[in-house]
Amino acid sequence: MGSSLQRWIMHVDMDAFYASVEILDNPELKGLPVIVGGRSTRGVVSTCSYEARKFGVHSAMPLFEARRLCPHGVYLPVRPHRYAEMSGKIMAIFRETSPLVEQLSIDEAFLDLTGMERLGGAETIARKVQNRIMDELKLSASVGLAPNKFLAKLASDMRKPHGFVKIASEEAAPLLAPMPVSKIFGIGRSAEEKLKQFGIEKIGQLAAADITILRKVFGINAEQVKLLARGLDDRPVVNEEEAKSIGKENTFDRDLTDFESCREEVLDLCGQVGWRLRREKLAGHTVTLKVKFADFHTITRSATSDRLIAWDEDIFALVEKLLQKINVKPGVRLLGVSVSNLFCPEDEPTLGFEEDERMKKRNQAIDALKGKFGENIIKRGIAEKNRK
Ligand code: TTP
Ligand code: MG
């Protein structure tokens, strides 16, 4: 990998984050199955305590199903501001620890701990971070420490809750070999199925696979996937500039009161944001939907994806979900869509698979037209029919 300095990357992911914050604020709930969801989440579980997981309850499960599996659980509505507040305190500890912190979502981040030997070395520092979160914030985090991002994230997930897993370079290949290929982020259902047709189900088989076979499944990303399968990943930890985002918003002449017209406007905005992103050769991990209501009350809702997002369809898929959770009946005056957590895709493997290829072609065709005739030449999808 060129560099002589051994890299140490730490990945921290909070345990049952929303539920843990609820228990922090209501200590009498400690040890009980606590399920958080509802109100602004359209009846699905956001997360639940590990006690509730024993009953089979998990994130994104409909609440009625959770109630069936765990009728004696404590059901609480989400309190996004409170979680964001605690998230800020956690991130502050990270930023005191390392100058290189990359926040991935509300409850997880990478910290680059390379070259901190004089401060006691990576493991000492990583344990100190985990202890500080417990001592100062009374919250439990799981930690992975490894020579790269891929392994660090894998490690933090291995002994949840309150795990601490360190993976050394030489341990990576034997550890990965028996794992299913789906453990590699970016390998979804369809790629998994294709690999299976070639008899590849375990990461070890992927690491040893013929590159021409992998090209059939992963296209230009085949080499990258093969490196990941061998436990190699040289993506840097990137300080995200929170202020940096690309977005577009639209104020309407008349307030929108039905979901369908909001959806159309949002689709149009996604097309504009996607075009701007691609023009700047950027892609992002986080999409944000901003809604200003008739009474000027404004809310923002964000979703973060492991994958880099730059195609209109990907942006829209996430934003549409966010929109579905919002009651637009009171009247929507303004809608905005933005993408943040930006990177140059070349810096990161966007494991684009076959369904992405069609999307890519479609987006590129639109981009070519917009580049030639200006941004307003095309409105995306359903928005087209209602415009002159
Ligand atoms: P996660 O880190 O995926 O889950 P978690 O922290 O609750 O539990 P774990 O110990 O397995 O890490 O997500 C962080 C928070 O994001 C979670 O507490 C609630 C929210 N969330 C949702 O609202 N919906 C979802 O589908 C998921 C996965 C998370
Ligand atoms: Mg978590």
Q: What is the rounded distance in angstroms from the CA atom of residue 325 to the CA atom of residue 354?
A: 30
Three-point CA angle 189, 321, 251, nearest 5°: 140
- 200 plus 252 within the same structural domain: no
Q: Ligand 1: which of 50, 107, 185 to mutate, judged by most atoms within 8 Å of the beta carbon? A: 107
Q: What is the rounded distance in angstroms from the CA atom of residue 117 to the CA atom of residue 327?
A: 52
- 188 plus 149 within the same structural domain: no
CATH code, domain with 145: 3.30.70.270
- 73 plus 146 within the same structural domain: yes
DSSP-based three-state secondary structure for 165 = strand
Q: What is the rounded distance in angstroms from the CA atom of residue 269 to the CA atom of residue 295?
A: 22
pLDDT, residue 379, reads: 61
* Residue 72 forms part of a structural domain: yes
Q: What is the rounded distance in angstroms from the CA atom of residue 279 to the CA atom of residue 151?
A: 32
* Residue 388 forms part of a structural domain: no
* Residue 386 forms part of a structural domain: no
Gyration radius from the chain CA atoms: 22
CB of 60 shorter than 6 A to ligand 1 = yes
Residue count of the chain, please give it: 388
- 257 plus 355 within the same structural domain: yes
DSSP-based three-state secondary structure for 25 = helix
Hey, what are 2's tokens? Answer: 């060129």
- 88 plus 195 within the same structural domain: no
CATH code, domain with 224: 1.10.150.20
CB of 78 shorter than 6 A to ligand 1 = no
- 278 plus 184 within the same structural domain: no
- Whether 108 is catalytic is yes
Q: What is the rounded distance in angstroms from the CA atom of residue 52 to the CA atom of residue 36?
A: 10
* Residue 255 forms part of a structural domain: yes
- 225 plus 244 within the same structural domain: no
Contact 9, 149 (CB under 8 A): yes
- 33 plus 89 within the same structural domain: yes
Q: Which domain holds residue 114?
A: 7-167
Alpha carbon of 132 to ligand 1 centroid (Å): 21
* Residue 1 forms part of a structural domain: no
- 80 plus 124 within the same structural domain: yes
Cβ atoms < 10 Å from Cβ of 358: 10
* Residue 85 forms part of a structural domain: yes
- Which residue, of 130, 149, 167, is where some domain finishes? 167
Alpha carbon of 17 to ligand 2 centroid (Å): 5
Q: What is the rounded distance in angstroms from the CA atom of residue 276 to the CA atom of residue 375?
A: 9
* Residue 2 forms part of a structural domain: no
Smallest CA-to-CA distance from 132 within 98, 93, 102 is with 93
pLDDT, residue 278, reads: 86
- 162 plus 209 within the same structural domain: no
3-state helix, strand, coil in the chain (%, to 5): 45, 20, 30
CB of 57 shorter than 6 A to ligand 1 = no
CB of 275 shorter than 6 A to ligand 1 = no
Alpha carbon of 269 to ligand 2 centroid (Å): 31
Q: How far is CA 146 from the centre of its chain?
A: 20
- 51 plus 14 within the same structural domain: yes
Q: Ligand 1: which of 42, 44, 46, 86 to mutate, judged by most atoms within 8 Å of the beta carbon? A: 46
Buried/exposed 123-153: b ≥16 CB within 10 Å, e otherwise? eebbeebbebbeeebebbbbbbbbbbbbbbb
Task: Indicate the residue type of 79.
Answer: R
Q: What are phi and psi of 334, to 5 degrees?
A: -145, 140
Domain count, the chain: 3
Q: What is the rounded distance in angstroms from the CA atom of residue 275 to the CA atom of residue 244?
A: 17
* Residue 383 forms part of a structural domain: no
pLDDT tens digits for the chain (388 residues)? 444 678 999 999 999 999 999 999 999 999 999 999 977 667 899 999 999 999 999 999 999 999 999 999 999 999 988 998 999 999 999 999 998 999 888 899 999 999 988 888 999 999 999 999 999 999 999 999 999 999 999 999 999 999 999 999 999 999 999 999 999 987 888 899 999 999 999 999 999 999 999 999 988 888 889 999 999 998 889 886 544 789 999 999 899 999 999 999 999 999 999 988 888 878 888 899 999 998 888 898 999 887 788 899 999 999 999 999 999 999 999 999 999 877 766 544 444 455 567 777 777 777 877 777 676 666 655 444 333 3
Task: Indicate the residue type of 105.
Answer: S
Hey, what are 300's tokens? Answer: 């923002």
Alpha carbon of 108 to ligand 1 centroid (Å): 10
- Which residue, of 140, 167, 194, is where some domain finishes? 167
Smallest CA-to-CA distance from 195 within 230, 222, 224, 166 is with 222
- 126 plus 221 within the same structural domain: no
**Terminal CA-CA length for the chain:** 55
- Which residue, of 167, 182, 209, is where some domain finishes? 167
CB of 22 shorter than 6 A to ligand 1 = no
CB of 343 shorter than 6 A to ligand 1 = no
DSSP 290: E
Q: Which helix (H) or strand (E) holds 249?
A: strand 245-256
CATH code, domain with 332: 3.30.1490.100
Q: CA distances (Å), 26 to each of 187, 215, 224, 264, 293, in order?
A: 39, 52, 46, 41, 32
